[in-house]
Amino acid sequence: MLNAQFPHLRATRQTCDLPLFAAASAGRFGLGVEINPVGWVYGKAKLQTATRTSVEKRLRWIGKKAPFYNAEARALPEFFDWCFCPRVKEFLVAARDLLDWRRRKTDWTTMALLMVDLHGKRESALSNQMRQTKAMSPQYSVDWWREHELLPPDRDPVEFMLKKVAWRYAKGRLTVSKSRVYLGDSREQLNTLARKASGGGAKLLFTSPPYRGITNYFYDQWLRFWLLGGPNQPRSPGEQCKSKFDNRQEYVDMLQTVFLRSKPLLCCDAVVYVRTDARKFTLETTIEALESAFPPKKLRSETHSQPEFTQTALFDAEAEAEGEVDLVMW
């Protein structure tokens, strides 16, 4: 479905690193748009990875600077005292201040590696016992740790991360990639990309838009967002496309706008591949938006059974339909 001479275009609010990495690994040119800086850092690090040596040097450098951040680390809310040992707190505050993750390859690679192991099982993460996929609320976490008498693991953050880096780089890295991931709102970024392009050339539009009313990825990833310079407690940015789309009309408008603004970047025989959830409103809205944006194309759908645990099941137990649907247009 991908052709090496054409972009693989992905426009979505959710993380786009895996499809872009797949395209780049196959020698194809991919473009992605990511509104969440956490997802953007992951995507950027996979597509343009710094060398192991440069990452190790940066970790050791942050470790030397970390003691100078003692006062800032001590001033953090109670949650951080329960979540991280003092040495880890100082190290994270230093990394938060010193890593220029928006502009430097070494820094976005180092930041991505830090975010992966920022929280998770206390045996294998920098934090006290926590879910890796989602940061729980501060008060809930503190109450749970106190009830179970769990203190944060006493770690040397530099030595811990150096071992993680050695394991990660043992798997190899993508050394050359022309693929790109842009940080921002798809509705704005797609217009900019269309103006720069000399004409539609993408052979595939591949995306999975946010499922309406399910979850807020900025809120769920608040601790990683904090490491990137965000607030030290869960807080929704409040912007329309950084929410969980409770408003139906805003959701409709978002889908229609993104698909319409993707169209100028596609060639006439491009394939459009969209995964969404099977709930009636979300599915019907997505189909209507696709048919409005790409009227000449045929549409085929395939329903998949719901995995054992999904965000949809967690946040919408009363959903009328279960599972996910792949919508393919050609």
Q: State pTM to two decimals.
A: 0.86
Q: Cβ(206)–Cβ(57) under 8 Å? A: no
Q: Is the pLDDT of residue 6 over 50?
A: no
Q: Residue 256's CB: how many other CB atoms inside 10 A?
A: 16
Choose the weakest-confidence range: 1-10, 28-37, 161-170, 172-181: 1-10
* Segments making up each domain of the chain, as ranges: 7-37+186-220+242-329, 50-169
Q: Is the pLDDT of residue 314 over 90?
A: no
Average pLDDT over the chain, rounded to an integer: 87
Q: Is the pLDDT of residue 13 over 50?
A: no
In CATH, 7-37+186-220+242-329 is 3.40.50: yes
Q: What are phi and psi of 215, to 5 degrees?
A: -160, 165
Q: How far is CA 87 from CA 32, 113, 128, 273, in A?
A: 37, 18, 13, 46
308/109: higher pLDDT: 109
Task: Say how far apart CA 264 and CA 44 lie, in whole Å.
Answer: 25
pLDDT at 305: 67
Q: Is the pLDDT of residue 304 over 80?
A: no
Question: Can you give the chain as a three-state secondary structure string?
Answer: CCCCCCEEEEECCCCCHHHHHHHHHCCCEEEEEECCHHHHHHHHHHHCCCCHHHHHHHHHHHHHHHHHHHHHHHCCCHHHHHHCCHHHHHHHHHHHHHCCCCCCHHHHHHHHHHHHCCCECCCCCCCCECCCCCCCCHHHHHHHHHHCCCCCCCCCHHHHHHHHHHHHHCCCCCCCCCCEEEECCHHHHHHHHHHHCCCCCEEEEEECCCCCCCCCHHHHCHHHHHHCCCCCCCCCCCCHHHCCCCCHHHHHHHHHHHHHHHHHHEEEEEEEEEEEECCHHHHHHHHHHHHHHCCCCCEEEEEECCCCCCHHHHHCCCCCCCCEEEEEEC
Q: Which amino acid is at 299?
A: L
Over residues 28-62, the pLDDT tens digits come to 888 899 989 999 999 999 999 999 999 999 999 99
Percent of the chain with pLDDT over 90: 64
